[in-house]
A and B are shown apart, each in its own frame.
Chain A
Amino acid sequence: MKLELRGITKRFGSLVANDHIDLVVEPGEIHALLGENGAGKSTLMNVLYGLYEPDDGEILLDDVPVRFAGPGEAMAAGIGMVHQHFMLIPVFTVAENVMLGHEETKAGPLGWLDRRAARRKVSEVSRRYGLAVPPDALVADLPVGVQQRAEIVKALTRDAKVLVLDEPTAVLTPREIDDLMAVMRRLRDAGTSIVFISHKLKEVKAVADKVTVIRRGKVVGQPSPSASEQELASLMVGRPVKLTVEKEPAKPADVVLDVEGLRVVDPTGVVQVDGVSFQVRAGEIYAIAGVQGNGQTEVTECLLGLETPTEGTIRVHGRNVSDASVHDRLRLGIGYVPEDRLHDGLVGSFSVAENLVLDMYDREPFAKGVAIDLRAVAANAAMRIDEFDVRTPDAEALASTLSGGNQQKVVLARELSRPLKLLVVAQPTRGLDVGSMEFVHRRIVSERDKGTAVVLVSTELDEVLGLADRIAVMYRGRIVGEVPAGTSADEIGLLMAGSTSQEAAVTGAAPHGASNE
């Protein structure tokens, strides 16, 4: 089906989120929508999906103008959407999730659900497009990649002719990304039109037939997918961008962090971290790579004291801090940038100024006896906002109203504004656009150069490769390999998928996917 958006305009108050956007997606085409966070991609897709009504412009399907009052109508018209956050019910099976909202019932007055029909549909669709989704598995038991395919199956069983994938690769491993791209190509060849929303240049280049770049609500260009990453990034951000992190070789000094035999068993008896040991020296960035959910989160939480290890010791400058409280560890000079900044890093309903002292409000110069020196808080805010270029209307704006990149800058500004011995950063650029990413990376490197030991946990291979001085890969709670900077992405990718170092070193030589160049 041919999808055409003509002059779509969507305003929120005086802000124009979409400004006369034109987009044509031909049948059997993968059309990438490239843009930074907040550029208006999601707004546009919500307009398409009937969640927002456009202020101006029209949507045409096969050259016929259509109007959707809600997602139901959009779905009925053949538009399927796979959201970044899956809309699946974890305790239901795949088949049950697929039939949800479109339940077929058996004949008769009782209207029994026809589960068999749903199962058959799932098997049929997944066989036809090689999706390999087990209809009877509980969604909660499936890996993220398969859950995503279940979402795609859900859309396809409703006869989606236009499939919108909103940041589909954010949660996937390199291998799963390859699989997804294969699925996208098969769907395209079967005639489905695909809108692929992303801000990851490599993926867009690898899979898209056409690219439309959006910046500040406007279409700024339709470069060829063969354009260089540099060109695409510059178009997206609106100025020349450096994609590689510039840094001097590390000058590692004394051991700052010494983790030995760390083991975390959660209350249900699942081993989250299984005997992890490593050392990090002052002035080096130690990266822990791995697919989300292989124990990295637990390791960082143990470092700050949010999680109590079942076994093992954590020493900072030789001092055993295993039993110290979070408060004491922060005092000791541990900086912590949590992976979920809105959940753990910021209080959304607090002002930027308050968030900038969230873990320092009880010490000089902000504490004045039992009171808080509001003037010192305000002065600090003014200084940090300036230093870290936080884009906020003012220091009293609520943290929740900032964009993701600016929220992350607030967290970084806070953690880097006190003297640190050890900086723990988890997923520092998750969901950030290229511009903010560049900034965050530069600050992490400069903190290293000040002689701080840095532990970086990231699922983004590019980030790990760009920043790390040493790289550890975690798989199922263990460090399966520790490799020097400069190791090939393929080798690390294999380690992330669970191969041992030796296997990875052997097979890693053979490239296996466009995303892992």
Chain B
Amino acid sequence: MSDAPVAEVAASEPKHTAPSRARRTALWLRSTHPVVVTVLAFVASIIVGGILIFITDTPTRKAAKYFFSSPGDTFSRGWHAVSQAYVALFEGSIFDPHTAFHGSFWHALSPLSETLLNATPLILAGLAVGLAFRAGLFNIGAQGQLIIGAVFAGYVGFAWHLPVVLHVIVALVAGIIGGALWAGIAGWLKARTGAHEVITTIMLNYVAVALLGYLLTENGFKRSGSNQAISRIVDGNARLPKLFPAPLRVHAGLIIALLAAAGVAWLLNRSRLGFQLRAVGANQFAARTAGMDVGRNYIVSLVLSGALAGLAGCSQILGTNSSITGDIDAGIGFTAITVALLGRAQPWPTVLAGLLFGAFQAGGVTMQSRTTTPIDLVNVLQSIIVLFIAAPALIRALFRLRGAADTSGQQLAKGWNG
């Protein structure tokens, strides 16, 4: 009895004493609170990325050859390369003084618009992976679900001709159904046969990619008169409206993504279904003993997850692009896993993670075009952030943080055994 047993389990945070406010803030800053860890992971990734730019930059390496006669050269060139890359990354994603004052007011917002545009499908697919994770499932199949969602939505978009407003809604519904069906296959297999969803969703990714490849050679899907593997063009009526005048490209998909985040938050925290999904995800045995149908929950959560990934596909085909190509997924399905990890499978943090990665993507394009640093750096930065979050011990050691291990990110990274 008493509070002694807790002490045996874990070294608890200092909640028994009441330090001053300033001291509390200082303690918090050195704690392993998820926000602190995430920010530090970001800082660490910028540092590691800087080192990588430094040692791979050609002028810097040339200067390094006469390092001992003029070490300043190496550092100034290295600094130049690193700062240029990060400045370009910033300019491409948030604010660009070079273009801001040429053209209309909207031009100044263009980098932000690109960030939001890139973030939209990442948020939706990130929510998809996060929702499934909360229900105890690893949905590695956001890619396939996104593709099938895009195929369904795209087909309705270019093959059907419906009135304005109605057309885009029908196309969105089609995309949702496509993604939900594709994920539902994995859910059904798991509930019925116990097949592990990691395996089935990955395999369904390959099937989806191959299916898309096949469709892009079929008349009726393929754009007639084109030699390229590209689909017909989606009707104007089926396109998601742009939110702002040209040249800003951000479209109504962003609104859908934010609504989806709100919906997922409500579902998980306030609804009966969400309670069930979380219970099954956290302890399927206790959930079963409490009378919940575990198999049915697997199907439901994967269907919902697939629906969200399908919406990401809609954002791609009805918003950002207007026709389907072989790379409609553009790596979003996999990046979504890291977005969900960074957002710790919580809806609003996932939105923030999606925005961050959207900014990386948008900035990466500018960086690639303006400096010698390739866009691959963005992948490195994203990976390092996630690496640090999955291994909080590393961050603790690097920044000498105190306190018990924060395992929320770790769990997401570790739970491959289902």
The interface of chain A, by Cβ under 8 A from chain B, is 12-17, 36-40, 42-43, 216-217, 304, 306, 325-331, 336, 338, 343-350, 354, 358-359, 361-362, 367, 370-372, 374, 391, 393, 401-406, 433, 435-436
Known contacts A361-B272, A433-B1; A14/B14 CB under 8 A: yes
**For window 257-299 of chain B, which residues contact chain A by CB distance below 8 Å?**
270-273, 275-276, 278-279, 282-283, 285-293
Q: Find B11's partner among A13, A39, A358 (CB 8 Å cutoff).
A: A13
How far apart sit A159 and B17, CA to CA, in the bound complex (Å)?
Answer: 46
Do A15 and B7 touch (CB < 8 A)? yes
**For window 285-335 of chain B, which residues contact chain A by CB distance below 8 Å?**
285-293
The interface of chain B, by Cβ under 8 A from chain A, is 1-17, 270-273, 275-276, 278-279, 282-283, 285-293
Shortest distance from the beta carbon of B396 to any chain A beta carbon, whole Å: 16
How far apart sit A218 and B350, CA to CA, in the bound complex (Å)?
Answer: 47
In the complex, which residues of chain A have a beta carbon less than 8 angstroms from the beta carbon of B270?
Answer: 371-372, 374
Shortest 4 CB-CB distances between A and B: which pairs? A38-B5, A15-B7, A327-B291, A403-B5
Do B282 and A348 touch (CB < 8 A)? yes
How far apart sit A36 and B5, CA to CA, in the bound complex (Å)?
Answer: 10
How far apart sit A370 and B300, CA to CA, in the bound complex (Å)?
Answer: 15
Do B278 and A350 touch (CB < 8 A)? yes
In the complex, which residues of chain A have a beta carbon less than 8 angstroms from the beta carbon of B282?
Answer: 347-350
Do B293 and A325 touch (CB < 8 A)? yes
In the complex, which residues of chain A have a beta carbon less than 8 angstroms from the beta carbon of B2?
Answer: 38, 216, 391, 403
Inter-chain pairs besides A326-B290, A361-B272, 20 sampled, C-beta below 8 Å: A12-B11, A12-B12, A13-B16, A15-B3, A15-B7, A17-B4, A38-B4, A43-B8, A306-B288, A328-B291, A344-B285, A350-B278, A371-B270, A371-B271, A372-B272, A393-B15, A402-B5, A403-B1, A403-B2, A403-B4
Q: Find A306's partner among B1, B15, B17, B289 (CB 8 Å cutoff).
A: B289
In the complex, which residues of chain A have a beta carbon less than 8 angstroms from the beta carbon of B9?
Answer: 401
In the complex, which residues of chain A have a beta carbon less than 8 angstroms from the beta carbon of B10?
Answer: 12, 401
Q: Find A40's partner among B1, B4, B14, B17 (CB 8 Å cutoff).
A: B4
How far apart sit A328 and B271, CA to CA, in the bound complex (Å)?
Answer: 21
Do A361 and B275 touch (CB < 8 A)? yes
How far apart sit A330 and B272, CA to CA, in the bound complex (Å)?
Answer: 17
In the complex, which residues of chain A have a beta carbon less than 8 angstroms from the beta carbon of B3?
Answer: 15, 391
Do A367 and B289 touch (CB < 8 A)? no
In the complex, which residues of chain A have a beta carbon less than 8 angstroms from the beta carbon of B289?
Answer: 304, 306, 326, 336, 338, 344-345, 359
Known contacts A13-B12, A367-B272, A371-B270; A327/B286 CB under 8 A: no
In the complex, which residues of chain A have a beta carbon less than 8 angstroms from the beta carbon of B16?
Answer: 13-15
Do B275 and A12 touch (CB < 8 A)? no
Shortest distance from the beta carbon of B5 to any chain A beta carbon, whole Å: 3
Shortest distance from the beta carbon of B69 to any chain A beta carbon, whole Å: 50
In the complex, which residues of chain A have a beta carbon less than 8 angstroms from the beta carbon of B288?
Answer: 306, 326, 344
Do A403 and B291 touch (CB < 8 A)? no
A-B contact pairs, 15 of them (CB 8 A): A12-B7, A15-B7, A16-B7, A326-B288, A330-B290, A343-B286, A344-B285, A344-B288, A350-B278, A361-B276, A391-B2, A401-B9, A401-B10, A433-B1, A435-B1
Q: Closest residue of chain B to A400, judged by CB?
A: B9
Q: Find A359's partner among B11, B14, B290 (CB 8 Å cutoff).
A: B290
Shortest distance from the beta carbon of A77 to any chain B beta carbon, whole Å: 24
Known contacts A14-B14, A348-B282; A370/B1 CB under 8 A: no
